[in-house]
Structure 1
Amino acid sequence: MGRTGYSSTENTNNIDKTHLHFGLQLIFDESQKEGNGEIWVNCYELMKFLSINRSEAAKKEGTKEWERIYGMKDPAVAEAEHSRNP
């Protein structure tokens, strides 16, 4: 959580509301942690995809797990499959 941002100066507090900062880095090998081999996920696109594919969830009986009631459908995948098999 943070209240910094919207400034060209690092650690400058220009906003009053606390908001969430997060990022997602894929690390397949320790050498990717620091340096030129870093792989960062565009969280905006990921959140947009998850928002489009929201689903009601149901608790799995006898566990602490929850499952989607409906499966995900990515229009780009359906379009690609259709173009391969017209």
Structure 2
Amino acid sequence: MKHVLAVAVTLAFATPAFASQCPSLMSEIDEKVDTAQLTEEERAQVMELRQQGEAAHEAGDHAASEEALNQALAILAE
């Protein structure tokens, strides 16, 4: 029983930590997109992924949000 309680408490505190990463990723994209050397197609793709990430974040799907936002950052890093 102690193990179950320990896991529950750990997850309760860990979930908000993961959720806070999404806004950081969005901010990083916002900072980089203005100075990145991108084609119009790449810029549109980055912005679409950023919008998908923000929508997923607002819906509470932080895994999908991080996936989309990290894809956008990967394009910016190319």
TM range (shorter): under 0.3
Q: TM-score, with normalisation over the residues of structure 2?
A: 0.22
Q: TM-score, with normalisation over the residues of structure 1?
A: 0.21
Greater relative contact order (Cα < 8 A, sep 6+): 2
Greater fraction of residues in strand: 1
